[in-house]
Amino acid sequence: MRNGPTQPLQPNLSRMLRRALRAHERGEFDKAERFHNAVLHSDVDNLDALHGLGLINYRRGRLEAALLASQAQQVKQSNSPGDLPKIQGQPTGQ
């Protein structure tokens, strides 16, 4: 079940995000990553989970993965699928 813009976040997803944040703050990046991925499994458009994964990947030195997470977050925030080719450096076809 995906959350629409007017639907509240499912309580279990909200709880997973809080757990991910606590794990991240304690430096338990593997655990935080698992929680963020679990949220994205249920809600692929979750900006908080994408942001968290980007931070974890950056912190671990996985800069390409961090950049991809950041770009995905930007595209989802803009809610404009036409922005994806520009962000990825591809021509837009116009």
- Tell me the pTM: 0.66
In a domain, 56, yes or no: yes
In a domain, 75, yes or no: yes
In a domain, 93, yes or no: no
pLDDT over 90, % of the chain = 47
- In the chain, the number of structural domains is 1
| CATH number of the CATH domain containing 29 | 1.25.40.10
In a domain, 92, yes or no: no
Q: What is the pLDDT of residues 30-60, one digit of tens each?
A: 999 999 999 999 998 898 999 999 999 999 9
Residue 2: both structure tokens together: 């995906």
Task: Compute, in degrees rounded to 10, the torsion defined by CA atoms 24, 78, 44, 3.
Answer: 100
Q: Is the Cβ–Cβ distance between 12 and 38 less than 8 Å?
A: no
For residue 23, how far is the Cα from the chain centroid?
Answer: 16
Range of the domain at 65: 11-87
